[in-house]
């Protein structure tokens, strides 16, 4: 399956299990892998035969910067649901949601979840 990658999307939001996270907010990073057939788009140089990744970005932004949730797992799930609903040509997608600076003690680069979701009826 062909793939479109959207890497390092950055948003400021208020997700987290701790009260301080809901008040102060923090940066969240999102990486997406969209799996779909890109043959016709490539052959015809036609945007209507692919996914407009600017529109995908806006969908992700709406979810991530929207209603605060406790878990990044829940944010990733909502992103996958919204993208699959809005872009029917996508057969499967991978959503990686990264919290670069979670309020936990220790030394690390970040924490993240990654989920893979697809269509059940294909």
Answer whether 11's CB lies under 8 Å from 61's CB: yes
Whole-Å CA distances, 58 to 18, 34, 61, 111: 27, 15, 5, 24
99 is catalytic: yes
**Contacts with 94 (C-beta within 8 Å, 6 or more apart), sequence order:** 31, 32, 33, 114, 115, 116
> Which one of 29, 85, 96, 99 is the catalytic residue?
99
- Which amino acids are annotated catalytic? 99
């Amino acid at each position: 399956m062909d793939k479109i990658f959207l890497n390092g999307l950055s948003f400021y939001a208020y997700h987290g299990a701790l009260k301080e996270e809901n008040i102060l907010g923090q940066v969240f990073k999102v990486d997406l892998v969209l799996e779909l057939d890109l043959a016709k788009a490539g052959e015809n140089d036609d945007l209507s035969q692919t996914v407009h990744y600017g529109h995908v970005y806006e969908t992700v932004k709406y979810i991530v910067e929207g209603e605060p949730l406790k878990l990044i797992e829940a944010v990733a799930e909502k992103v996958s649901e919204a993208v699959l609903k809005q872009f029917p040509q996508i057969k499967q997608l991978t959503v990686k949601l990264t919290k670069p600076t979670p309020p936990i003690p220790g030394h690390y680069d970040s924490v993240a979840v990654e989920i893979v979701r697809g269509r059940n009826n294909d």
